[in-house]
Amino acid sequence: MKKLTTLTILFFAAITAGTAQFQKGQKLLGGSISYSTGTTKTDQVSNFNSKRSNFSFNPSFAWFTSANRLTGFSVGYGRNKTYQEQLSGSSYQESLSGSGSADVFTERYYPVINKLFFTLQGRLGVSYTRGKTRGANGTNNEVENQQRGFGINMGLAPGITYQLSPRVLFDLRLNNMLNAGYSRTTSKNVKPGTNASKWTEESFAVSSSLSSGTLGSVGLGFRWIIK
């Protein structure tokens, strides 16, 4: 018990004694870029083939408005293409979609020990998607649909940041403690010569992860102080 009390005192003393390593006006650059492609081919009875490719680009920029508070924004672009065909049944499906997003965020840094910080980030973002799907089921019954959608999302997420060097930060982002989001997607059949149809999907969700449990997802990344 005495050892536990001593460790507790030392822990809170470290939090109190920790000092921020940042300066007002410092700027940070971060983000991600990814590309993937793949194919699937089978020579069995099903004769199933597929191709897929994905590209995304998400840069972010931020600046310190004080020694322990960061404000910034990020933008994103994504493109996804898939093609599947069933040679034995002369059926196929092809889809192409693109998406764009924009976020603003603010982040507070709480010193724990030298160069190690507990962080709390609040974020508000919007997104837009647009896509097209074409296909046939083997009986010349072709379909062609268009989809458009948008969403808005806000969240509050804790994390840990370690300053690897005067210019490089390592970030560990945990699940959102609080999250709320709304999305709306509209699809319509645009195949000439068919009966036009249109349908809309809407969703709204609020969630929290304040209870204990396993970590569903953890974000890892680096940011660079450019000034």
pLDDT tens, residue by residue, 202-218: 999 998 876 555 555 67
Task: Specify the amino acid at residue 15.
Answer: I
Site of tokens 């403690």: 177
3-state SS assignment for residue 175:
coil
Q: Which domain holds residue 140?
A: 2-225
Model confidence, pTM: 0.76
CATH number for position 38: 2.40.160
Q: Average of pLDDT values for 25-42?
A: 89
Q: Average of pLDDT values for 72-92?
A: 86
Distance CA 122, CA 156 (A): 5
Q: Which of 115, 89, 103, 104 has the alpha carbon at shortest distance from 22? A: 115
114 pLDDT tier (thresholds 50, 70, 90): confident
pLDDT at 139: 60
195 has a pLDDT exceeding 60: yes
Distance CA 162, CA 74 (A): 21
pLDDT at 36: 93
What percentage of the chain carries pLDDT values higher than 90?
Answer: 52
Distance CA 89, CA 63 (A): 57
Say how many domains are in the chain: 1
Average pLDDT along the chain? 83
Which residues, other chains included, contact 61 with Cβ-Cβ below 8 Å and sequence gap of 6+? Answer: 27, 28, 29, 30, 72, 73, 74
